[in-house]
Amino acid sequence: MGTLLEVKDLHAGYGPTDVLRGVGFAVTEGGITTILGANGAGKTTLLRAVCGLVRRRGYVHFAGEAIESRVTEDIVRLGLAHVPDGRGTFTMLSTEENLRVGAITRRDRKAVEQDMARMYGYFPRLAERRAQQAGTLSGGEQQMLAIARALMLRPKLLVLDEPSFGLAPLVVQDIFRIMRTVNREEKVSILLVEQNARLALELADTAYLLETGQVALSGAAADLRNDETVRAAYLGY
Amino acid sequence: MEAFLHQLFSGLATGGIYAALALALVMIYQSTHHINFAQGEMAMFSTYLAWTFIDAGVPYWIAFVATVGVSFVLGVIIERVVVRPVEHAPVLSVVIVFIALLVILNSVAGWIYSYTIKTFPSPFEWEAVRNPYLAPHEIGTVGVTVVVLLLLYAFFRYTSLGLAMRAAAQNPVSSRLAGIRVGWMLALGWGLAAAIGAIAGMMIAPVVYLDPNMMSGIMLYAFAAALLGGIDNPIGAVIGGFVVGVVENLAGAYVVGTELKLTVALVLIIGVLLFKPSGLFGRRYVTRV
Ligand SMILES: Nc1ncnc2c1ncn2[C@@H]1O[C@H](COP(=O)(O)OP(=O)(O)O)[C@@H](O)[C@H]1O
Ligand SMILES: [Mg+2]
């Protein structure tokens, strides 16, 4: 299996200070990689650096192209969809318009309509709220909308920043089930940052542990699940 | 009664112009959170362009279309060259840039065309529709503004580009993450605002005549309209425009007299800012955390 996203010696940050200091990781084609770490470790910064939302320097290759000096809009057009921290809802647009924005770079109109129907199939709650202003949706619905909006790009890689944050357990289960489906059936690779380490390690094949801007530990997700330090610090047993 | 209806209808005609200009202000405000103080002078300059075309013998409607097109391009260029560099500057710097733009456009127009007042033709000289309530030019103005407003509505509501522009104005980061080129959307917004201004200028010029200061009073009403409707609400701004037009005309005819009409705009502006800063249709932000 090839490598879809490869990152080496990545430095990134805000203003003059670097938050990331030489991070490396990879996502295989069709794979699911998760990045774990405490609050403030630099996970969000890492995802932003990959898609060019913050100042960065290093080696970032996606789908065979060097993207470390590309602008966000171009990276997205290569097939990288980012579900940002805080969901990034277009609050004044309707649910349906939010989905259309997700597909705005696509020209295959028919397929867009089909994908729209597919998203409503994945998330029936969104279908009920089709015409509703997206800012009035509940937190869980907005998270579903953010994921659906990202999938409307028909991405090669789906990047998610703490999709379970602040959601009820049942909604979280739903969202993880759909991530698995999308990965298996549509061959979308996934890069997942998660606070719920147990769920993330169950879903992922590869995992990285980020500590103060550096990779402290990495390996197969199954191995990390059994690692003493990970257990003690992130799994709580 | 006839006189009253006449005042009411002609209030709607000028109201359409205020509505268009207020809408242009709102469009820029929504994407930049700044009020474009140079909007009126941009419209004035466009009207001089139209006058140049017409003076050179170009038929009115061809001159009209050419002016709208050239104004659109100039609006895009102004965004790219003048506004973009101060994108992240403090509010006061941006205001100064807008005022500078206003003064420069005003002086350049005066320098090229002189400050002597010129007449500007109306394309609506239909004798057939003469009636006691509305002059033909007023009917034409209402028609043109209504068409412009409907076209804009359809553009923003039903086209992919319109959706991209709305998205970019609302949430630039999420828009970039959807692949939208936000910078270009802002520039297009300026182009549209300039084009709307051009149409408003060409419609009002036969009434107020053409001179470099022709828009100062009108912009005051447009600001009042935008504030009244809620500076971030396009539909509110349009309604505000028609309301201000009617109130201005009726107050001018029956209350304060034409000399003091401009005070109506000032009173409206101050009243809205004091008592309902978000405007009549101002947005109540409905967002759940
Ligand atoms: N917009 C910002 N400006 C300056 N510093 C920031 C910004 N966002 C995050 N940081 C800093 O970067 C570090 C990493 O933050 P972040 O990437 O959000 O961590 P995580 O997502 O792992 O919780 C923190 O020390 C945080 O204070
Ligand atoms: Mg984070």
Q: Which two tokens stand for residue B93?
A: 């710097």
Q: What is the mean pLDDT of residues A99-118?
A: 96
Same-domain status, A69 and A168: yes
How remote is the C-alpha of A94 from its chain's centroid?
Answer: 23
**Long-range contacts of range A37-40, CB-CB < 8 Å, 24 or more positions apart?**
A37/A209, A37/A210, A37/A211, A38/A211, A38/A233
Q: Which one, of B40, B42, B214, lies nearest residue B115 by Cα? A: B214
Nearest atom, ligand 1, residue A162 CA: 21
- Angle made by CA atoms A84, A86, A88, in degrees to the nearest 5: 60
Q: How far is CA A31 from CA A34, A186, B233, in A?
A: 10, 12, 45
pLDDT digits (tens, 9 = 90+) for B244-257: 999 988 888 888 77
Same-domain status, A146 and A188: no
Same-domain status, A161 and A74: yes
Same-domain status, A159 and A229: yes
Query: What percentage of chain B reaches a pLDDT higher than 70?
Result: 97
| Closest C-alpha residue for ligand 1 atom 16 | A42
Q: Is the pLDDT of residue B259 over 80?
A: no
The answer to whether residue B160 sits within a structural domain is yes
pLDDT digits (tens, 9 = 90+) for B51-108: 999 999 999 999 999 999 999 999 999 999 999 998 888 888 999 999 999 999 999 9
Q: Which one, of A179, A228, A169, lies nearest residue A202 by Cα? A: A179
Same-domain status, A116 and A135: yes
E strand segments, chain A: 3-14, 17-28, 32-37, 55-62, 65-66, 80-83, 157-161, 189-193, 206-211, 214-220
Q: What is the pTM of this model?
A: 0.91
Which of A70, A96, A104 is the best mutation test for B, with the most CBs of B within 10 A?
A: A104
pLDDT digits (tens, 9 = 90+) for B106-158: 999 999 999 999 999 999 987 776 777 778 898 899 999 999 999 999 999 99
Q: Is the pLDDT of residue B222 over 60?
A: yes
Same-domain status, A54 and A147: no
Measured distance CA(A21)–CA(A120) in Å, rounded: 41
Question: Mean pLDDT for chain B?
Answer: 90
Measured distance CA(B8)–CA(B248) in Å, rounded: 10
Overall number of domains in chain B: 1
Question: Mean pLDDT for chain A?
Answer: 94
**Axis-axis angle for helices B136-158, B160-170 (nearest 10):** 80
Please tell me the predicted confidence (pLDDT) of residue B283.
Answer: 61
pLDDT digits (tens, 9 = 90+) for A34-46: 999 999 999 999 9
Sequence-distant (6+) residues with CB within 8 A of B58 are B66
Q: Look up the domain containing B69 and give its range.
A: 2-275
Residues in chain B, how many?
289
Report the greatest alpha carbon distance in chain A: 51
Please tell me the predicted confidence (pLDDT) of residue A215.
Answer: 95
Q: Is the pLDDT of residue A112 over 50?
A: yes
Same-domain status, A67 and A100: no
CB A12 within 8 A of CB A57: yes
List the CATH number of the domain containing A17: 3.40.50.300
Overall number of domains in chain A: 2
Please tell me the predicted confidence (pLDDT) of residue B284.
Answer: 52
Are A88 and B177 inside 8 Å of each other by CB?
yes
Same-domain status, A168 and A139: no
Are A91 and B170 inside 8 Å of each other by CB?
yes
Q: Which pLDDT band holds residue B288 (cuts at 50, 70, 90)?
A: very low
Please tell me the predicted confidence (pLDDT) of residue B164.
Answer: 97
Q: Is the pLDDT of residue A237 over 70?
A: no
Nearest atom, ligand 1, residue A41 CA: 22
Please tell me the predicted confidence (pLDDT) of residue B99.
Answer: 93
Measured distance CA(B241)–CA(B16) in Å, rounded: 6
Same-domain status, A73 and A159: yes
Q: Which pLDDT band holds residue B10 (cuts at 50, 70, 90)?
A: confident
Q: What is the mean pLDDT of residues B264-289?
A: 71
Same-domain status, A25 and A47: yes
Please tell me the predicted confidence (pLDDT) of residue B286.
Answer: 46
Are B176 and A72 inside 8 Å of each other by CB?
yes
Q: Which two tokens stand for residue A39?
A: 């609050």
Residues in chain A, how many?
237
Q: Chain B: which residues have CB within 8 Å of chain A?
A: 160, 163-164, 166-167, 170-171, 173-182, 283, 285-289
Q: What is the mean pLDDT of residues B266-277?
A: 81
Please tell me the predicted confidence (pLDDT) of residue A236.
Answer: 65
CB B194 within 8 A of CB B105: no
Q: Is the pLDDT of residue A145 over 90?
A: yes
Which of B157, B174, B181, B289 is the best mutation test for A, with the most CBs of A within 10 A?
A: B174
Q: Look up the domain containing A200 and give its range.
A: 3-79+155-235
Chain A nearest-CA distance from B84, in A, is 17
Sign of CA dihedral A225, A228, A233, A235: positive
Q: Are strands A17-28 and A189-193 parallel, antiparallel or unpaired?
A: unpaired
Measured distance CA(A51)–CA(A159) in Å, rounded: 10
CB A3 within 8 A of CB A59: no
Nearest atom, ligand 1, residue A161 CA: 21
Report how many helices (DSSP H) and strands (DSSP E) chain A contains, helices first.
10, 10
Same-domain status, A70 and A169: yes
Q: Which pLDDT band holds residue B289 (cuts at 50, 70, 90)?
A: very low
Same-domain status, A103 and A137: yes
Q: Which one, of A26, A78, A25, A28, lies nearest residue A52 by Cα? A: A78
List the CATH number of the domain containing B269: 1.10.3470
The answer to whether residue B270 sits within a structural domain is yes
The answer to whether residue B83 sits within a structural domain is yes
Q: Which one, of B70, B62, B69, B50, lies nearest residue B120 by Cα? A: B50
Residue whose tokens read 């932000």: B285
Complex ipTM? 0.95
Which of A102, A132, A154 is the endpoint of a domain? A154
The answer to whether residue B182 sits within a structural domain is yes
Q: Which one, of A118, A108, A107, A81, lies nearest residue A4 by Cα? A: A81
Q: Which two tokens stand for residue B123?
A: 């394309």
The answer to whether residue B158 sits within a structural domain is yes
Q: Ramachandran region of residue B33, left (φ > 0), alpha (ψ -120 to 50) or beta?
A: left
